[in-house]
Amino acid sequence: MKSLAIPLLLLALSGCMPTKQAPPTEVKDVPADRLFPLEQSQGPVGTVTVTRDVGFVGGGCYLGVMVDGNIAAHLDRAERLTVLLPEGRHVLTATPVQGRGLCKVLQSERVNAARRRSTEIFVQAGATQPYRLYTSLEEFPVIEPAL
């Protein structure tokens, strides 16, 4: 019985640990079946990458990335979205999405919309701007600049 207690305690505590940025060698592009087309525009563009953290907090559910109010992708852990955006102001939004397993049962569109978190960005032509996506300990999705 004692030999089982320690692994169970470690497992329980690991669920409370924050996420961390994935090592670049582990990051993969989001699969095409979870990419959604964005409206193409003319003019100079910059590159925005959003990489989802690894870790247990919220790790069983996909997180959505919205660009200017339009869904761009559903990301799993250690996945990256790369988009070309016109120079200027944009809004990136992190949102929980109905997906697999319990996420499909426990989440509704209304609840997901109330939990969205956005950040304003300014895209520069020719520049690449990295962002990270994760679930906070309060179970809200977060999108912020990556280091």
The average confidence (pLDDT) of the chain is 82
Mean pLDDT confidence for 81-109? 80
> Which residue is listed with tokens 């169970």?
8
pLDDT tens for 12-56 read: 444 445 778 888 899 999 999 999 999 887 889 999 999 999 976
What CATH number did the domain enclosing 118 receive? 2.60.40.1120
Percent of the chain with pLDDT over 90: 52
Predicted confidence (pLDDT) at residue 141 exceeds the cutoff of 50 = yes
Q: Give this prediction's pTM.
A: 0.80
> What are the counts of helices (DSSP H) followed by strands (DSSP E) for the chain?
3, 9
Number of domains in the chain: 1
Which stretch of DSSP H or E encloses residue 45? Answer: strand 45-52
Query: How much is the pLDDT for 136?
Result: 83
Provide the residue range defining the domain that includes 73.
2-145
Burial 82-93 (b: 16+ CB within 10 A, else e): ebebebeebebb
Which residues, 6 or more positions from 47, have their beta carbon under 8 angstroms from its beta carbon?
82, 83, 84, 85, 127, 128, 129
Predicted confidence (pLDDT) at residue 130 exceeds the cutoff of 60 = yes
CA distance to 15, 121, 130, per residue, from 59 (Å): 10, 25, 20
Taken as a whole, the chain contains a residue count of 147
Burial 19-35 (b: 16+ CB within 10 A, else e): bebbeeeebeebeeebb
